[in-house]
Amino acid sequence: MRGQGRPRLTRRVRVSIAAGLLAVAGTAALAQMSAEIVPPLTGAGQPMENRPADPMPSWVVDDIRKMRAYPEQPPIIPHSIEGYQLSVNTNRCMSCHKREFTEGSGAPMISVTHYMTREGQMLGDVSPRRYFCTACHVPQADTPALVGNTFVDMSELGVGHAGDQ
């Protein structure tokens, strides 16, 4: 009889093969599209090319508080933190920014949210989850932007304050 001795592909196997080929083709098409849409952040060279490192940026250390770029952005650090020790046992930032030291240092106090647990319970000292400042706060470097920014603040869009009618 015809076809005896050769294994036949079941419909399920044929559908699985077709789906696999379709997935491979779709992934390749998406990768090509995303390369055109997303700007590269690595510069002009090839990603794995060995090249000399860019010079270290100069930090903005003018002690002037900067406007935040978006609501609830952690404030940037407007001074040098070079050599600051930040470990489980020591946090140099707290020597100026902890509630009890701000009067003598003139530094702004850390937010009261840094003294709260996740459940909103107030603590007598800084919460362990808020202890490592540089997890959220960063020094500002004087560098060009990696990608363009078209952000417009609401105040520039003509939105007034509540009750300004």
Is residue 158 domain-resident?
no
- Alpha-carbon gap, residue 112 to 161, rounded angstroms: 25
- Alpha-carbon gap, residue 86 to 92, rounded angstroms: 6
Is residue 17 domain-resident?
no
Nearest C-alpha neighbor of 93 from the set 135, 65, 44: 135
Is residue 12 domain-resident?
no
Is residue 68 domain-resident?
yes
Give the CATH number, domain containing residue 85: 1.10.1130.10
Q: What is the pLDDT of residue 37?
A: 65
Is residue 77 domain-resident?
yes
In terms of residue numbers, what domain contains 76? 61-147
- For the chain, 165 residues long, the average pLDDT of each consecutive 10-residue run is 64 84 77 64 68 82 79 85 87 90 90 91 90 89 80 74 65
Overall number of domains in the chain: 1
Q: What is the pLDDT of residue 79?
A: 85
Phi/psi for 135 (5° steps) reads: -70, -30
Is residue 48 domain-resident?
no
Q: What is the pLDDT of residue 24?
A: 78
Using an 8 Å Cβ cutoff, are 151 and 158 in contact?
A: no
Q: What is the pLDDT of residue 57?
A: 82
